[in-house]
Amino acid sequence: MSFLMDDPIEDALHTYALAETPANFSNKIMRQVRSTKNASMQFHLTWMDYALGLFLALLPAAGFLIWISLPQLALLQLEFQLQLLLTGILQPALVISLAVAGLMLFSVFLVSLNFLLRPRWWLA
């Protein structure tokens, strides 16, 4: 859609006369806003908040338990796979993929930071 000033919709929005607001319009609206704002501003935690917190808190413990319960053969296989990754043939691909993953994580961080620091006009 074109946002030029010669756009007929844009021209109509800027030239048509505005209708007068009814009497006590703002008082009625502000009364409704106050009643809904107080009702919706109550803070409470749901079961999902507790479940997510418990899950994230138990992840390191679960990872440690899995690591110590691996058999010796599985640990040797993991060590062999790590040695294959660190050879000279695969090292450039590993470095490039880690750089791309880091760049993607940094861009997600910047987007989320932009979202968090954006002024919220609906809370004013």
Please state, in angstroms and rounded to a whole number, the distance separating the CA atoms of residues 28 and 39: 17
Please state, in angstroms and rounded to a whole number, the distance separating the CA atoms of residues 84 and 93: 12
pLDDT tens digits for 108-119? Answer: 999 999 888 887
Amino acid identity, residue 83? Q
Which pLDDT does position 5 carry in this prediction? 53
Which pLDDT does position 22 carry in this prediction? 72
Residue 39 has pLDDT above 90, yes or no: no
Confidence class for position 6, pLDDT limits 50, 70, 90: low
Which pLDDT does position 40 carry in this prediction? 55
Assigned token pair, 97: 């993929």
In terms of Cα–Cα distance, which of 74, 94, 97 is closest to 84? 94
SS3 content of the chain, % helix, strand, coil (to 5): 70, 0, 30
pLDDT tens digits for 83-104? Answer: 887 777 878 888 899 999 999 9
Residue 15 has pLDDT above 70, yes or no: yes
Q: Is the pTM of this model over 0.85?
A: no
Q: Which residue has the tokens 């803070």?
A: 43
Cβ distance 94 to 85 under 8 Å? yes
